[in-house]
Amino acid sequence: MNILESPLALRTSGLVRYFSGLKATNEVCFDIEPGELRAIIGPNGAGKTTLINLLTGELVAHEGQIFIGSTDVTGWPIQRRVGLGLLRSYQITSVFDAFTVYENVCLAARRKQGLGLAIWKPLVGYRSIADKALRVIHDCHLGDVVHATADNLAYGQRRQLEIAMALAADPRILLLDEPMAGMSAAESAAAVEMLGSLKGKYTILLVEHDMNAVFTLADHVSVLVYGSIVATGTVEEIRNHPEVRRAYLGDDEDA
């Protein structure tokens, strides 16, 4: 397979990972276009976390390949993949509770530029970093709390701060693993609105159990069952796919 000129943001080919002889992922193949928001859904034990860990390099694939753009990163360690722009939000986020939203995002942007966290350097002494931080903060709907310290944020706002810090690192692909987990209904609605406003600006792979969020946000949905992708399509195609309804949504689920 020659994808040297591939316009794709992310591609997997035949990914297999065994645990004690059991295939946790079984020949997983999918493509993600630049700017796409792709959701991966599936029942508990379907292999979603294993797949994300294979993409980030936290697990090594026994078979198959992973490409970021045209680059084969299959054997790369985590930090090398991060350097190429494949980010799982917690890989870049170390929220400092005593720092403001603005200061936390500035720190994430400084790390991206290789400036480190040296306390003797001015925190926001670089105009480009300050501008980027403010842009990302507003993209993540945190403008009203820009000068609030992280320890004073509501849970949902803190999760939005984690995403803002990841975006400050200029990801080519952002992996979000159940970002709405633990949120109240109001916080989930705010998170969905925020992620919706990011569509097209960033390439996002979303693993999420909240089907309302998935069906509101996703451009395409891939369904993972027993380690295999059984269907990929638009929201409407997935809603009405008979095998998906049996395996995950339930036969009596309203479309």
pLDDT tens track for 40-86? 998 888 899 999 999 999 999 999 999 999 999 999 999 999 989 99
Burial tier of 215 (Cβ tally within 10 Å: 0-12, 13-18, 19+): middle
CA distance 35 to 194: 16
CATH topology of domain 1-85+172-255: Rossmann fold (3.40.50)
State the helix-helix crossing angle for 155-167 and 101-112, rounded to 10 degrees.
Answer: 30
Q: pLDDT tens digits for 219-254?
A: 999 999 899 999 999 999 998 888 777 766 555 544
pTM of this prediction exceeds 0.75:
yes
Residue 129 predicted with pLDDT over 90: no
Task: Read off the DSSP letter of residue 254.
Answer: -
Domain ranges of the chain: 1-85+172-255, 94-171
Pick the range with the lowest mean pLDDT from 21-30, 85-94, 106-115, 156-165. 106-115
Provide the CA 234 distance to its chain's centre, in angstroms: 19
